[in-house]
């Protein structure tokens, strides 16, 4: 984050009467934009409430504080100073007051809508002296927005590629998508093929095997194995694999880049927030972006909005590299 934007955050916290600020960035940006504020609050004997969808033991802010030997991390509200790390559902149970609230909607796959986020932050607002909404879009209306591009990135992010088809995508793979699969396999890539349910997943596996029985060696049906076994396939560098799944929450924490194919992207279960996170997930580990192929009959409003947001992110990256700060 630039020095100018760092100063804006510090000024908000120390020198203004404003209670809230939006910090908008791309998914999986990390904690660097909010880390300094959290650390200073703790060192000044303040109380921090930090809301995240990450697993508490592996939450980035928790790991960073332990590195700094500021291991004042609490699961309950009864403490003098430090940080109370909670998930979304625990937020409604908060009763006590805090100096700083950080709502981190960046570093985990979104399970809640923007409206749900606004409702929770609204509930916690009066319990906290200052509030930072750290998200992929503004949570507070009519409030200052600090835009933060990807850290140290050498290129732009993946923009979702929409594939419209009349093929029954729950039973077969369209020719255009199959061509992509062949290319991904030839490039030794890890492929995540997402279906709408378990029946669709089995149909796609059967369809691919009917084309080429050799695919049996590279198709990974995640429902039939535990996470350690899935990771073993994912971390095998010398061979491509097609991970076919109807649920993806656990897979997103595996530290490899995936080429992602989403069959039924126009489904109500995938709003624009989830689609944006999938787009950033293709380049999660390094700057080598993969593809996000959104397979649908007709693009939904959420699909179109995800495309618009990804293009907007890239404009912000362009401005940060070649324009004014």
Full DSSP string of 134-192: EESS-SSTTS-EEEE--TT-SSPPPPPEEEE--S-TTT---HHHHHHHHHHHHTT-EEE
In a domain, 192, yes or no: yes
- Residue 129 and residue 35 share a domain: yes
Q: Tell the residue number behind the tokens 């491509």, with chain if given.
A: 240
Residue with the bigger pLDDT between 101 and 227: it is 101
Instruction: Assign 107 to helix, strand or coil.
Output: coil
pLDDT of residue 114 exceeding 90, the answer is yes
- Residue 185 and residue 51 share a domain: no
Q: Tell the residue number behind the tokens 């618009």, with chain if given.
A: 308
> For residues 157 and 131, what is the distance between their CA atoms, to the nearest angstrom?
28
- Residue 210 and residue 117 share a domain: no
Over the stretch 149-186, which tens digit does the pLDDT of each residue have? 776 555 688 999 999 999 999 999 999 999 999 999 99
pLDDT of residue 324 exceeding 60, the answer is no
Structural contact between residues 306 and 276, judged by C-beta atoms closer than 8 angstroms: yes
pLDDT of residue 266 exceeding 90, the answer is yes
Q: Which one, of 228, 293, 227, lies nearest residue 264 by Cα?
A: 293
- Mean pLDDT for all residues in the chain: 92
Over the stretch 182-237, which tens digit does the pLDDT of each residue have? 999 999 999 999 999 999 999 999 999 999 999 999 999 987 788 899 999 999 99
Instruction: Assign 27 to helix, strand or coil.
Output: coil
Q: How many helices, marked H, and strands, marked E, lie in the chain?
A: 9, 13
What would the two tokens of residue 89 be? Answer: 């559902």
What is the CATH number for 227?
3.40.50.300
In a domain, 156, yes or no: no
In a domain, 308, yes or no: yes
**Angle at which helices 60-67 and 32-43 cross, to 10°:** 50
Rounded to 5 degrees, what are φ and ψ at 292? -120, 110
Residue 6: pLDDT band (50, 70, 90) is confident
- Residue 274 and residue 193 share a domain: yes
Q: What's the rounded mean pLDDT across residues 139-146?
A: 95
Give the pLDDT score at 152. Answer: 55
What would the two tokens of residue 273 be? Answer: 């927030």
- Residue 143 and residue 165 share a domain: no
pTM for the model stands at 0.88
Burial 191-221 (b: 16+ CB within 10 A, else e): bbbbbbeeebbebbbeebeeeeeebeebbbe
- Residue 218 and residue 277 share a domain: yes
Q: What's the rounded mean pLDDT across residues 75-97?
A: 96
Residue 323: pLDDT band (50, 70, 90) is low
Q: What's the rounded mean pLDDT across residues 81-95?
A: 97
Over the stretch 269-313, which tens digit does the pLDDT of each residue have? 999 999 999 998 888 777 678 999 999 999 999 999 999 999 988
> For residues 277 and 38, what is the distance between their CA atoms, to the nearest angstrom?
25
Q: Domain residues for 249?
A: 161-320
In a domain, 58, yes or no: yes
């Amino acid at each position: 984050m630039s020095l100018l934007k760092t100063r804006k955050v510090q000024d908000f916290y120390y020198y203004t009467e404003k209670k809230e600020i939006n910090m908008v960035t791309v998914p999986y940006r990390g904690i660097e934009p909010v880390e300094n504020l959290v650390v200073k609050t703790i060192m000044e004997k303040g109380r921090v409430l930090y809301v995240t969808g990450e697993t508490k033991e592996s939450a980035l802010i928790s790991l960073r504080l332990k590195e700094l030997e500021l291991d004042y991390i609490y699961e309950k509200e009864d403490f003098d100073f430090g940080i109370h790390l909670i998930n979304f559902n625990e937020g409604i149970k908060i009763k006590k007051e805090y100096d700083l609230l950080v709502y981190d909607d960046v570093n985990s796959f979104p399970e809640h809508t923007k409206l749900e986020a606004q409702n929770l932050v609204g509930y916690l607002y009066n319990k906290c002296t200052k509030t930072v909404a750290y998200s992929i879009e503004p949570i507070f209306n009519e409030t200052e927005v600090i835009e933060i591009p990807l850290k140290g990135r050498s290129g732009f992010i993946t923009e979702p590629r929409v594939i419209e088809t009349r093929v029954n995508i729950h039973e077969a793979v369209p020719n255009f998508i199959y061509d992509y699969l062949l290319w991904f396999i030839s490039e030794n890539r890890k492929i995540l093929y997402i279906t709408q349910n378990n029946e669709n997943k089995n149909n796609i596996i059967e369809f691919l095997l009917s084309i080429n029985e050799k695919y049996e060696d590279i198709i990974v049906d995640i429902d039939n194995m535990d996470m350690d076994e899935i990771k073993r396939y994912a971390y095998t560098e010398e061979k491509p694999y097609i991970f076919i799944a109807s649920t993806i929450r656990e897979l997103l924490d595996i530290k490899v880049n995936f080429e992602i194919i989403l069959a039924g992207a126009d489904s109500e279960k995938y709003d624009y927030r989830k689609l944006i996170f999938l787009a950033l997930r293709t380049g999660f580990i390094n700057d080598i972006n993969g593809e996000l192929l959104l397979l649908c009959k007709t693009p939904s409003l959420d699909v179109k909005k995800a495309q618009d947001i990804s293009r907007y992110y890239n404009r912000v990256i362009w401005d940060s590299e070649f324009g004014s700060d």
